[in-house]
């Protein structure tokens, strides 16, 4: 038996001002999308802003439903919307911001497993590493690719 170690690196920022300008712009759009999220059940409003290689930004908030599993996370709402509107554009980056009961989340809102799976397919489809900016008021983390966030991922080519 052998052990295979898997490690990832993320950039860590302690203020919005320290982020590169393009990341800051995307975070602002994610924050605005979180303001417009429809999350009356969890009161956890998430916003995601997707930057495409054609320069467009597509942003969306999570969409909940009284029949709980029928809702959708912000990341997938934004990515599927981007795919529908710009089917030939590659995703360059996604920023995620969240607020709980109207208060900005202090720590990075890490995307759920299902969103990582969808983000990974966008990355593969676009043949470009997708920068993932997970914004928290106190701490922001940036991953250089979705593959870093989903090691040992499902692949039909196994």
According to DSSP, the residues that pair with 71 across neighbouring strands are: none
Tell me, what DSSP letter sits at residue 71? -
Q: Which is nearer to ligand THU, 26 or 74 (CB)?
A: 74
Residue with tokens 């038996």: 1
- Calculate the dihedral angle through the C-alpha atoms of 82, 53, 134, 76, rounding to the nearest 10 degrees: 20
Clarify whether 75 is annotated catalytic: yes
Q: Which is nearer to ligand THU, 18 or 41 (CB)?
A: 41
- Please state the length of the chain: 158
- Distance of closest approach, residue 78 Cβ to ligand THU, in angstroms: 10
- Distance of closest approach, residue 47 Cβ to ligand THU, in angstroms: 8
Q: Which is nearer to ligand THU, 24 or 116 (CB)?
A: 116
- Distance of closest approach, residue 6 Cβ to ligand THU, in angstroms: 21
User: Which is nearest to 45 in space by CA: 69, 61, 29, 30?
Assistant: 61
Euclidean distance between CA atoms 17 and 44, whole angstroms: 25
Among candidate residues 75, 121, 123, 137, the one labeled active-site is 75
Residues found near ligand THU in the complex (CB under 6 A): 39, 42, 44, 46, 62, 64, 71, 73-75, 111-112, 115
Please list the active-site residues.
75
């Amino acid at each position: 038996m052998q052990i295979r170690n898997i490690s990832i690196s993320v950039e860590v920022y302690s203020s919005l001002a320290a982020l590169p300008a393009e990341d800051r712009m995307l975070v602002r759009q994610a924050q605005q999308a979180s303001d417009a999220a429809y999350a009356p059940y969890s009161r956890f409003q998430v916003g995601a802003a997707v930057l495409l290689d054609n320069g467009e930004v597509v942003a969306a908030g999570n969409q909940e439903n009284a029949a709980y599993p029928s809702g959708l996370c912000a990341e997938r709402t934004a990515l599927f919307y981007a795919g529908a509107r710009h089917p030939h554009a590659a995703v360059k980056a996604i920023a995620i911001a969240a607020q709980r009961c109207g208060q900005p989340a202090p720590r990075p809102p890490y995307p759920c497993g299902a969103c990582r799976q969808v983000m990974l397919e966008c990355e593969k489809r676009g043949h470009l590493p997708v920068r993932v900016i997970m914004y928290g008021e106190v701490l922001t983390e940036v991953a250089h690719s979705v593959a870093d966030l989903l090691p040992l991922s499902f692949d039909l080519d196994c």
